Amino acid sequence: MQLSNTLTKLWKTLYPQEPEELLQGFLQEVEATKQEIHFPSHNSEWYKDAVVYSLYVDLFNVNFNGLKEKLDYLQELGVNCLWLLPILDSPMKDAGFDIRDYKNIRADLLGLPNNSPEEEKRKVFRDFLEEAHDRGIKVIFDIALNHTSEEHQWFREAKKSKGNPFRDYYIWSDNTDLYKEARIIFYGLCESNWQKEGDEYFFHRFFEFQPDLNYKNPKVLLEMIRNFLFWLTQGVDGFRADAIPYIWKEEGTDCENLPQTHAVVKFFRAVLDHVRPGTLLLAEACQKPKEVVKYFGDSDECNAGYHFPLMPQMFKAISAESAKPITKTLSLKVTPAIPESAQWFTFLRCHDELSLELVYVSEEDRKYIHENYCLKPQWDFRLGQGVAARLSELMQRDPKKIALAYSIMLTLPGTPIIYYGDEFGKLNDEAYYKEMIKHTGKDDTRFLVRGKIDWKEVEKSLSDGNSFSSKVYSSIKNMVNTRNKFKCFGRGSIEWLDLKDKDGNNLKEILAYLRIYQNEKVMVVHNLSEKDITIDINNVNNMDENDLLGNIIENKNKTMNLEGHGYFWIDTSNQ
């Protein structure tokens, strides 16, 4: 009854002129799906204790059988949640974010011929899920909510005629002045948000082969939720809601973060919570924190959201040798408080560029970060709005700087994401970039940060303790597994520390804080500069000779020496 009341209220908000028969029929489907699911219950707020590993199945290790072979590797690394970048059927013009069929996985990822029976395909995926779950690893994947591929059956039908019943699944007009205040997201790659098709134009916020869905048609909303429900029956633990701010459009607005968008998200969350409580709904909202927090609602929208602004500020802090970019970004003035059940997801690199969108980065910061990290002209993305490079390239292949960046991310509030290959210093892949230009017809430099893993070469490098890959891997593995022993990093509060040198001078190069949860208290100290720094620790009692990571703490006369780009994780729970 509670679900029915919630959905009816939201339905009337979104579709006041529409009859409720559609909704009542859908509610019966929801109950039938709930009865079909017999998976174990999720632990409450499990996503707060997760370390997420993000990967493309084919680029990581060919297909799901290859991924199964690497589950032991991932478990040893300390990963307990996999974020599968787009796996649904797609022509792959935008790395799979252009979905052709929401209820089928690409056959090549399953190691099966295209014409294999659907149930055979689904069994391969379910077997993979079972293997992952047996190791305590959750699995989430991307679902593009805002748009489909132009090859989706709905759009193929929509193109046939203005009278086709699927025409209204998309947004059509003969007037391209509509929604003129909506910015072009792929600035420099697309000239317009409208694409000619026949004697009309269809609207798209991303590439022209990704027509936007029309959520003003209630059938679109219900069809999208049916996609969620289907994958819940297969055992998926959550969904990354791609491009969530743009799903509702209104003339005279910028078509972002509209009230109706939040009503749609509440609709999604209510259904997911009812059918399988604890299913993760993760907001991909590339916006300022004050806008992103709205997607948590009153704990009735997304469970979690990416902290996009924090990512570039971590890079700025290291380059500027100053803690201020991070402390300012995480202050309540910039990042408002979130509901107790909600969580930020943090990352250093992902499948996209080091984004410097002016939506959440000032012009001054954009210019500074671009100048300090876009080390090759080829890395430029969207005319200065981003840098397309792997973490190891951005850090000039310096294992100490890479480890420092990871130490910061792994200990700040939120759930951290490791982008596949970054744990061993994977480099930009120029061959893959050139290959994808030929395939897509787009000079999209984001393909530099993707590329396949050559596991024979990686294993050879990791076996050599002196290799670049081995140094990066051993540091990150140590940190991740240490982090997993403490709840304070994923669930605890943060208390900033203003550390000084022995003469009482402020140390702007030192980023330090306490992470506190119940009886746990860990002091984390980072040296953002290249030089060794001596820190006054008069207020710290009974410090051990080693920190939690095994680093030796040089503790003399109530001072602590921290080498350039060094860091300590110090257990102060008993102090």
Residues 404 and 534 in one domain: no
Residue 92 domain flag: yes
| Spatial contact of 561 and 554, defined as CB atoms under 8 Å apart | yes
Instruction: Tell which of 461, 483, 505 closes a domain.
Output: 483
Residue 25 domain flag: no
Residues 479 and 497 in one domain: no
Half-sphere exposure of 541 (CA within 13 A, CB side): 3
| CA dist., res. 518 & res. 296, Å (int) | 25
Residues 458 and 561 in one domain: no
Q: What is the CATH number of the domain that holds 564?
A: 2.60.40.1180
Residues 504 and 439 in one domain: no
Which of 258, 168, 291, 274 is CA-nearest to residue 225?
A: 274
Residues 230 and 95 in one domain: yes
The tens digit of pLDDT for each residue in 11-42 reads 999 999 998 999 999 999 999 999 999 998 89
Beta-carbon contacts of 153 under 8 Å, excluding residues fewer than 6 positions away, are 101
- Residues annotated as catalytic are 242, 284
Residue 265 domain flag: yes
What is the model's pTM? 0.95
| Bridge partners of residue 204, in order along the sequence | none
Residues 314 and 404 in one domain: yes
Residue 326 domain flag: yes
Residues 521 and 431 in one domain: no
Instruction: Tell which of 465, 483, 501 closes a domain.
Output: 483
Residues 73 and 121 in one domain: yes
What kind and span of H or E run contains 66?
helix 64-69
The first and second tokens of residue 179, run together, are 């929604």
Residues 441 and 506 in one domain: no
| CA dist., res. 200 & res. 211, Å (int) | 13
Residue 187 domain flag: no
- Domain residues for the domain of 340 are 46-150+213-483
Q: Specify the number of domains making up the chain.
A: 2
Q: What is the CATH number of the domain that holds 288?
A: 3.20.20.80
Residue 100 domain flag: yes
| CA dist., res. 358 & res. 285, Å (int) | 14
pLDDT score, position 541? 66
Q: Output the average pLDDT for the chain.
A: 95
Between the two ends of the chain, the Cα-to-Cα distance in Å is 51
DSSP state of 118: H
Residues 368 and 444 in one domain: yes
Residues 418 and 551 in one domain: no
Residue 15 domain flag: no
| CA dist., res. 243 & res. 470, Å (int) | 36
| Spatial contact of 124 and 111, defined as CB atoms under 8 Å apart | yes
Residue 360 domain flag: yes
Instruction: Tell which of 435, 453, 483 closes a domain.
Output: 483
| Bridge partners of residue 523, in order along the sequence | 514, 570
Residues 247 and 117 in one domain: yes
* Mean per-residue pLDDT pooled into runs of 10, the chain (575 residues): 94 94 96 95 95 97 97 98 97 92 95 89 96 98 97 98 97 94 88 94 96 98 98 98 95 96 98 97 92 96 96 97 98 96 97 87 95 95 89 98 98 98 97 90 90 97 97 98 98 96 93 97 97 87 84 84 96 85
